[in-house]
Amino acid sequence: MYEGTAYTYLWETMKKKVTLSLNARTVAMLRKAGARRAKPMSAIVDELVEDLEKKEKAKEDDFAWLKEMGTWLSGKITQKDLEEDPRLAYAWGYKPKKKAVRKKVVKKKA
């Protein structure tokens, strides 16, 4: 009777109710986006959070190769290199120390 019938099961993750405080403009934009996409606001918020998580994960992966390179580049990149090239400094997480700025002292004539 059921031979050759394909069954499809859709498993939906557990949902949890959350209360958010958003400004009126954000709520209006969220409602408009929901109407355009024919989705509830909660689905749109869920998608946005997932996209944000993917972007942050991708950023972490962008510099993962640097950690690997650090083992064979150690000793070859100097502090001077990091100070001269801001891109390299950013990639290595180097923050230069701020140099003390001398203020000019003006002597007043009596």
Q: What is the DSSP letter of 68?
A: H
Average pLDDT of span 36-61: 86
Domain-embedded: residue 108:
no
> 87 φ, ψ to 5°?
-65, -45
Which of the given ranges, 72-76, 89-93, 98-102, has the highest pLDDT on average? Answer: 89-93
- Entry pTM: 0.45
Do 27 and 50 share a domain, yes or no? yes
Same domain flag for 32 and 54: yes
> Residue 63: its pLDDT value, please?
62
Q: Which residues contact 79 (CB under 8 A, 6 or more apart)?
A: 94
> Is residue 29, in this structure, part of any structural domain at all?
yes
Query: Does 102 fall in a domain?
Result: no
Q: Are 25 and 53 contained in the same domain?
A: yes
Structural domains counted in the chain: 2
Determine, yes or no, domain membership for 100. no
Reported confidence tier of residue 68, pLDDT bands at 50, 70, 90: low
Residue 4 C-beta-side C-alpha neighbours within 13 Å: 1
Has residue 109 been placed in a domain?
A: no
Look at residue 25 and tell me if it is in a domain.
yes
Residue 73 inside a domain? The answer is yes
Instruction: Read off the pLDDT of each residue in 11-40 and give the average, rounded to a whole number.
Output: 88
21: confidence class by pLDDT, cuts 50, 70, 90: very high
Interatomic CA distance for residues 45 and 14, integer angstroms: 16
Residues 70 and 46 in one domain: no
Full domain range(s) for residue 34: 21-58
